[in-house]
Every structure is written in structure tokens, then in C-alpha cells.
Amino acid sequence: MKHIFLVGLLIAALSSNAQSFKLTGHLVDTETGESVLYANCIDENTGRGAVANNFGYFSLKVGSKARITISCIGYATTTTEFTIHGDTTVTIGVSPKTTAINEVVVSATVPVREQVMMGKTTLTPEMIKSIPSFLAEPDLIKTLAYLPGISLGREGYSNIFVRGGDRGQNLALLDGIKIYNISHVGGFLSLFNSDIVKSVDVYKGGFPAQYGGRTSAVIDVATKDGNNKRTAGSITLGTLTSSAFLESPLGKKVTFYLAARASYYDLLLKDQRDNFKEAEKELKPVTNNEYTGFSFFDVNSKIRWSIDATSNLALTFFLGNDYQHVYEQDIINYGSLKNDRHKNDYTIKNKGLSLTYAKSFGQLFWRNTVSVSKYDTKNINLSEENIGFDNYHKNRAKTITEIKDATLQSRLEYNLERHKIKGGVEFNRYSYNPGLEYTQFIDSINDEELTSGARSNIDAWENSVYFGDEIKISDRLSVEAGLRGTAYILTDTNYFRAEPRLAARYMLNGNTSVKANYTLMNQFNHVLVNNNSGMEEEIWLASNARIRPQQAHQVSVGIFYGNDERKINASAEIYYKLMNNLIEYRSPVSDNSVHEIEKSVFIGGKGLAYGLELMVSKDFESLTMSLTYTLSKNDRKFDDINNGEWYPFIFDRRHDLGVTAHYRFNRKWTVDGNFVFSSGRPCTLPVAEVPRNEIGFDHHYIYTGFNNCRLPAYHRLDLGVKRYFETDKGLKSQLSLNIYNVYARQNAVMAFYREGKVYQKSLFTIIPTLSYSITL
Amino acid sequence: MKQIFIFLCAAVIVTACDLEKEIDIDGVEFREAINISGHISRQYGANVFVECTYPPQSHTYFNKKIDDAKVYLTSGGVKIAEIPASSYFEGLLYHIDIDTFSYNSYGVLVESGRLGTAYSAEQTLPDKVAADSVVVTESDNGSYMATFYFSNDENLPGYYCNARTADRDDGDIEKLFHTHFYGSDAIHYQEARKKDYCQISCVFYPASFDYDELEYYADFITLSPDLAKYLKSEAEYNTSQEDEFFDYPYPLYSNIKGGYGFFGAYTVSQTSGVVKGKWVYFE
């Protein structure tokens, strides 16, 4: 009897196993047809769960009857029942919440406490748009700065500095396109148009094996697919910038979007520019002998073809240009002499294209991306000196720097019940031109023209292979282990690097987890920031025998709490990061010839950053608040700087506090506020001076060290009020009033001596801006 | 609506102007202190320039004396001689001719009742090292370049060279630091010398172009570690001062405790020779 019972159990077990099927789901927004990313998917019948990937696909092992519940921030929780007879692929519609104003919580869509990888945050467009912003322009990068451990550097920046890293140590991806310069017009706005953003994954601590090539952070931006239900769009009119967005289906399977932004600051200065040009032509009195203008535009577009329920092909295009013009003339007004003129035109161009093919084979997901990207700057200086009788010396200098890449990535993800296995290859072909310089000299008396130029192209391959596995060891313990191997190949120098990645999460209970993480990252492309240009020109350099690849070891541990019922999240993380082979600007770069640009760096630097990061967010009924605080120390050491002693990194800030609040009065009115406070950043000022003496020492200033003092603390309060309108015909619009720096604090961006006293320079005080947006 | 828009545009432009105001910053308060600029060599004894610091941007050309300063030469932390004030630049320059020995360490100590005590880290006087050969070439503009060829010694932190003609006397005291550098090769540092065999060059000018033969003196100088660091920082300092951007000033190396400045040691190996001159005609 006992044997019969056991055999019966075995048959039942086998029978049960035989009725186990593979359910592959693709989650889409019921209103727009957009894929819904990172949603939690649970089969209520078996209790098994999965998280949709960043293409909206998930895979679950289910029985013949499945009851799938989908939950995701911004969407109503939905439950769908299926009767299944075999492995099945389904498309599941998920409805956005019906409230006109979404709840905003700056936290991950997947509860942070449940993620294995530390230091990962996922942002949605609603989060980005909820933060009161500079010029009323929602800004992804400035939103990221509200996360602990991430700062903007100085006021006006749209570059981020993550856990002691420098601006060039962040990998920014837009649908797989590498973005080399993420800011517009000297950093006032970021290059990412918030209209096109679907989700943003930010990694600052642990890095999955598929990411490499940078040492500090990854910002992986996924753009929208385009509305496949109807033609839609929006127009936003701002004080200094405006934007337009259009998305539409093209037939049943193809969708697209097109987005554009432009500034019109230059138009507001038209009179000044015309006046300058008039004076330039003739001997004519001018009211202003200087003209400084800047402008920018960017265009984003994507076409997506849903080949079938399991595969799609997407083409993404991006273009972003910036222009700065500085014109000066020295008024002469002698007889018939023309004025001396100096013109500087500075242009930054980013452009990229990617083609992505994604295919789901049930538990297996395959993604392939081919992308090209180019970043280049052009600096043209023209100087005309009138030497009398309409004869002149004319100097024209043009400096171009650029980096471009062609990248092929192929990645496989295989989801099992206790394993999420990832593996792939990545081939990058880089072409660097750190300095292409032409100079031309024209002497009209001797009818002489002299032109010289030089070119220094460097090509390199960066090829990687990686493997990673997220292993669910028990219900409480999960581990993610990965290894990435990279070969960096130049003509005369090769580097081979292996990067282990390890992360572990242990659930103390349903609400609390502890995590630990170790990563090793290498960076083969280096950024040299040439501050001489006034626009902080970035020059990308290759690794070579002298400039070795940068490396960062990072260890972090943390405790994470989340209570979905009480809508509260909290975390505390500690990190320790050691960086090697850093480079630093060595002045003056701009005066060096092309071949010396690569010598214009201090090399072999070390960096040490460690700190504590705290975050609390709470969602009340109408009020959402978050508080972040970072206590950190961030030092550098170069043999040739500060006499080889450690000194504070220029963006070291001991304390960094951020508070954001979002209050919903009703369906028509919201108020947003944010307050930031941070310790002043280091600066270098002399404490004394001595005049030239007679045994050969020149006059010099005396400094007690590099970055020997600190600017005053930085703090600022911003407020934003939004009024939502909706006509009877369903036309939605939004009027936003933003006030940047409400109490008009003059925050220092630099300090300097004048007549023996220390002065600070500030960029902005209070800036009110208005924008009006219509959603079509 | 249009007026509001224009007003806000104007508000942005007006408020976004550069704003400046006076501030107090901790750590940069001025205090009068002793500044030392000095060196010791086997050939020229010890020369120490002692002065009082000024607040930044004082725009003065006059070195400030320290009336009650007493200056001592030290070795092994012990005062071995008081360095008397020189007849040149009285109250500022202190000079002593003293027998010095290679591999001995020397430092300087300055005492002032008003400003306290400043003393340098002691320096080991390097031994005399001669370049293997010196080649002097003439350029089209009338200058000469002396190139020293020498084998590498990893124990020495740096080399320095200068050259001058007999008819262009820069004075013994000044000549070490007044040499016109040629490129970045005028100083060779230990970490830069990967090769077994090195060369450094410097240029020199005759006082006039009217000569048949020109006698020159070429100095090959071995540096103490702190002097090598100082000269290196001086080169960086000079380029950083030309950089208008604020964030990259480069502090000069200092090995003085209780004050500012530096004290170094060096040894000169001198060669001389004659080059044939030429007449230069001006149209």
C-alpha cells in the first residue's frame, strides 16, 4: 500500500510537471501601445514571479491555468487569467492610472529592497517632470542629482559627478548610442529631451556585466516606442526654449516619434548683434563693442517595427548642436581706419544612430544593437588687426576635436526559475582626434598667406565578452555574479582587463534587505576638460603607453527598507571607492600644438572616495516627499600636483542634502518644491605673495596647498506651480510657473582676489520662468 | 500674456548676469610670515634671501626686510654657522662661503622675534657629476644651444643645465635661476629618465653679434631632491599663471616649516670652450 501511495505521488508529480508551460508575456500600455518596463508579474496560482525586462518582456513557468497579476508604478494593477495548453506568448495590456496627475516617487519601479544590484535607480518621465527646474525645462540629469551620491558639480552644470568620480567617467546611453557630452550650452541644460524618455536606469554602485568602459556610473536611457493607437504629441513654449513632440502609428506594426527642442536666446539679443555687425562694416559708433550669444537645438527620432508578438526592430536617431559666439572689436575711429576685430565661434555637435533588434524566445531574450556616435567640437578664432591704411594682419585658427565610435552589441538573457543568465559580446571601434588644428596667417602688405595644419588620428578597438548570472539561492538570498573581459587594442599598445562583479542581497523580512557589492571597472577613453575655452571643452583621449586605462574598485554595503502599504522607502548605503590612473588637466592646453595635447595631462593619479548615503521617501495621500543626504570625502593624488600630497577633489562636498516635495491640491493644481544644501566645494587661493627678488626668484603667490580652501556653502530653494487644463473635447494643456532660487541666494561658482580682498562670482539669483505645454 | 512673456524673458536675462560680492573664506587669512629663497652649493656657498610676505595682490616691487632675522646654516639639525647679511641687498640676502661636502646634509634656519622661526628640510648635497659630452650648435638667429649628453644615474633626482658666454656676465648669484630654458629639457627628472642615456639642452646668447671667437661656459648641475621638486613646480606654476581659469593655480613646492619658500642644494660641473663667431649685417 505504501508503495502504491509513493508511485501515486510520483505519477502526480510527473503529471504536474507535464502540465507546466512556458508563458512569455509582452506588457503594453493600453493607451499608447508603449512597452511597459520593469513591471512585477506574479502568477497567483503558483506564487512564481518575474520582472519584465527593459523591453517589457517577461517569462514565467505556469500551469494549465494561470492568473497573472501585473503591478507597476503609474499603472493600475491588473489581473488576467489564462488557460494554457502549451508554451504561449501573449501581449498583456496594462492601463495607466486614471488620475490626471500621477503620483511621483523618485524610486525604482521594482522595489529597491528586492533588487540584487545595489545603487540602481529607475526613473520615469513623470519623476523627471515633477522636479522644478531651471528655465522650466524638465531635465533628466538635474533630476539625477537628487539621488544620494550624485551631484552636479557647480551651479549651471548638467554634468553629474557620481561617488567621487569625474564627469567623463559616466557611460550615457540613449537606446544604445553612446553620448559623449550630455549637456547643452555650457551645462545649463542636459542633452536628454524628457519628452522622449520612457525610462532611465542609473547605476552608481554595482554594475551588471553588460556595462563597461566607464568607472563611475551608467545612465541607460530607453526612449519611447511611439504611440501605436493614435497620432499624439505636445508643444511646449518656454521662456528661452521651446519643444515639440509628435508620435504616431504608421500602419499596424510601425510606430514613430519625432521630437525637437531649440533655444531662442540669440533672437532676444538680435539688436545687440545687429549693432555689432553694423559697426563691423563701417566706421560707426557702437553702443556695445561686445556680443556674446549662444543657441542650441536637438532632434530625436525613432521608428519601431513590431515584427510580431515576440520581436521588433527599432531605429533611433539623435542630433544635438550647440553654438557660442563671442565677437569683440576695438574701436579705433581714426580717419578711415576700420576697427580691429576678434571673433570666436565655438560649436559642439553630438549625433548618433542605433538599430536594435530584439527577439523573445520565451525564456530566452536576444538583443542586438548596432550604433554609431560622433562628438566633435570646433573652435574658430578670427583676429583682424588693422595696421594702417586699410592693411591688416589676419589670423585664423581652427581647432577641432572629435571622437566617434561604431559599436556592435549582442546580448542573450535566459530566465530560469532560480537563474537570470546574461551573456554577450560587444565590439567598439573608436576613432579619436584629440586635436586637429589649422592656422592661417594673412599679411595684406606683403600679400603673404601662410597656412599650417596637423592631424592626429588615433584608432582603437575595445572588444568585450561578458557573462553574468542572478542566482536565487533561497527566498531570502540572491546573488548576482558577473565577469567582463575586455581587450583594448591600439596600433602599438594593447591592454587586457578582466572585471569581476559581485552583488548579494539578503531579505531580513518582507520589508527589509541588506546588500553588499563589489565591482571592478576599467575605462579606456579619457576626458580632458579644457576650461580655457570658456565652454569647458571636452577632449577625449585614447589610452596609450603613457596614459594607462583608468580603474576603479568599489565596495558598498547597505540596508534597504520598503513598505508598500505605508508607501515609505528608506535606505542607507556606505561605499568605498579607489581609483587609479586618473588624468587631470595641465594648463595651458590651448597654447600647445596638436602633438602636445596628449602631453597636456597629469597622469597616474589616484582617487579615494568614501561616504554614507541616506534616502527616505514617503507618499502621503496628496503629498510625496523625499529626503536624501550624502556624507562623503573625495580626494585625489598626483605625483605632479600639490607636491605629491593628497588633496580634495574639486567637487568634493562633505555634506549634500536634497529635499523634494510634490503636493497635489486637486486634479488641476500641483505645487512642487525642492531644496538643496551642500558644503562649499574646494578652491585654491593664495594666502600671501612675495615680489621678485634679486637672486632669481620671480614674484609669486604663496598657496598653502592645492584646493586649500572652500567656497561658501551652496543652498537653494526652487518652487513650481502647475495648472492642468482639459477641454470638453479632451485637449490637455499645462501651464507651469517655476521659480529657481526663490530667496535669491548668490551661490558662489568661483572666488578670486581683487585689491587684496576675496570676492565670489555667482551665475544666477532668482529666475522665474513660465512654460505652456499642449498635449495633442 | 505677451507682455508677461517679454517681462519674464527680460527678467531671466537681467538676473542671469554675473554677480560678484566680497566674502570671507576660511583658510586664506593673511598672516605675515618668513619667506625663504635659498640654496647651497659646493662652488658658491650658501645664499639665502629672507623676506616678509605681503598680502595677496599688494602690487609692490619692494622686498620687505625682517629687521630682527638671524639666519643659520644647519647640518644634522644642529646650527653650524650663522649666515651673515651680504653687502648686497642688505637685510634681505644672507651669504656665506663655507666648505661643504658631498653627501652631507644642509638646511637653513631663520629666527625672528616678531615672526617666529622658519626652518627648511635639510638637503643632501649631491656629488659632482659631469656630463659625458657637450655639443654647442649655432642657430640662424644668433643664439647657441648647448646640449649635454650624460648617462643615467637613477639615484639622482634631477639635472639642470645652463650656459653663458664670457662677455655676458649674469653674475654668480643670479645665474642658476636666470638661465633661459629650452623647451622642457632644461631639467631632467628621475622619473622621466627611462633611458640609459639622456640629453638636455639650453640656449645662450652672446652680448653682441660682433665677434670672431666666443668663449662660453656650460654648467651641468646636479640637484638635490627638493631643488628638483621646486624647479619642476616652478615650471608648472609659470604656465598655470598664464591660465586665466581659476581652478588650476599650481602651488610652488615648499620645504619650509613655520614659513614659506624653499631651500635646495646643488653641485655644478663646469666646462668651457670657444665657438667661432660670425658677422651679422643689418640692412
The confidence score (pLDDT) of residue A416 equals 85
**At a CB cut-off of 8 Å and minimum separation 6, what does B7 contact?**
none
* Closest residue of chain B to A643, computed from CA coordinates: B253
Q: Which three cell numbers stand for residue A111?
A: 522595489
CB < 8 Å to B173, chain A = 694-696
* Closest residue of chain B to A707, computed from CA coordinates: B247
Q: Read off the pLDDT of residues A605-642 as tens digits, 9 standing for 90 and up.
A: 999 999 999 999 998 888 889 999 999 999 999 988 88
User: How much is the average pLDDT of B52-58?
Assistant: 90
Q: Read off the pLDDT of residues A189-228 as tens digits, 9 standing for 90 and up.
A: 788 888 899 889 999 988 999 999 999 999 999 999 998 8
Measured in degrees and rounded to the nearest 5, phi and psi for residue A166 equal -95, 170
- Bridge-based pairing state of the strands A21-29 and A88-94: parallel
CB contact under 8 A, B174 and A694: yes
Category of B94 on φ-ψ map: left (φ > 0), alpha (ψ -120 to 50) or beta: beta
Topology of the domain comprising A2-94: Immunoglobulin-like (2.60.40)
Q: Read off the pLDDT of residues A226-273 as tens digits, 9 standing for 90 and up.
A: 988 889 999 988 877 889 999 999 988 999 999 999 987 777 667 767
CB contact under 8 A, A691 and B60: yes
CB < 8 Å to A756, chain B = 55-58
The confidence score (pLDDT) of residue A385 equals 73
Task: Flag whether pLDDT at A10 surpasses 70.
Answer: no
CB contact under 8 A, B25 and A751: yes
Task: Flag whether pLDDT at B105 surpasses 90.
Answer: yes
DSSP A165: -
CB < 8 Å to B231, chain A = none
User: How much is the average pLDDT of A54-74?
Assistant: 82
CB contact under 8 A, B27 and A704: yes
**Omega within 30 of 0 (cis) for the link into A588:** yes
H helix or E strand, kind and range, residue A542:
strand A537-542
CB < 8 Å to B14, chain A = none
Chain center to CA of A621: 31
Sequence length of chain B is 283
CB contact under 8 A, A694 and B249: no
H helix or E strand, kind and range, residue A404:
strand A391-415
The confidence score (pLDDT) of residue A163 equals 94
Task: Flag whether pLDDT at A411 surpasses 90.
Answer: yes
The per-residue b/e assignment along A176-194, b for 16 or more CB within 10 angstroms, e otherwise, is bbbbbbbbbbbbbbbbbbb
User: How much is the average pLDDT of A76-95?
Assistant: 82
CB of A611 closer than 8 Å to CB of A632: yes
Q: How many CB pairs under 8 A join A and B?
A: 207
In chain B, residues under CATH classification 2.60.40 are 34-124, 133-251+266-276
Q: Read off the pLDDT of residues A692-727 as tens digits, 9 standing for 90 and up.
A: 876 667 788 898 888 889 999 999 998 989 899 988
The confidence score (pLDDT) of residue A205 equals 87
CB contact under 8 A, B30 and A641: no
Q: Distance (Å, rounded) from C-alpha B246 to C-alpha B249?
A: 7
The confidence score (pLDDT) of residue A98 equals 54
CB of A411 closer than 8 Å to CB of A210: yes
* Closest residue of chain B to A267, computed from CA coordinates: B9
Range 13-42 of B in CB contact (< 8 A) with A: 13, 15-16, 18-31, 33, 35, 37
Instruction: Select from A599, A748, A770, A751 the least CA-distant residue to A156.
Output: A748
Q: Given this structure, which CATH class describes domain B133-251+266-276?
A: mainly beta
Domain positions in chain A are 2-94, 112-679+711-775
> What is the CATH number assigned to the segment(s) B34-124?
2.60.40
Task: Select the residue of B16, B25, B191 nearest A709 (Cβ to Cβ).
Answer: B25
DSSP A167: G
What is chain A's mean pLDDT, rounded?
83
CATH of A112-679+711-775, one of 2.70.150.10, 3.90.950.20, 2.40.170.20, 2.30.30.30: 2.40.170.20
CB of A365 closer than 8 Å to CB of A53: yes
Task: Select the residue of A701, A708, A712 nearest B23 (Cβ to Cβ).
Answer: A712
- Bridge-based pairing state of the strands B34-41 and B260-276: parallel
Instruction: Select from B47, B54, B90 the least CA-distant residue to B69.
Output: B90
Given pLDDT bands bounded at 50, 70 and 90, which one contains residue B178? Answer: very low
H helix or E strand, kind and range, residue A424:
strand A419-443
Task: Select the residue of A690, A753, A768 nearest B53 (Cβ to Cβ).
Answer: A690
* CA distances, A306 to each of A226, A411, A670 (Å): 11, 19, 37
CB < 8 Å to A694, chain B = 49, 63, 88-89, 92-93, 173-174
* Closest residue of chain A to B237, computed from CA coordinates: A700
Say whether the ipTM exceeds 0.85: no
CB-based contact, B62 to chain A, within 8 Å = yes
Q: A5-14, A90-99, A508-517, B233-242: lowest mean pLDDT where?
A: A5-14
CB contact under 8 A, B246 and A752: yes
CB < 8 Å to A154, chain B = none
Best to test chain B binding among A546, A697, A743, A771 (most B CBs inside 10 Å): A697
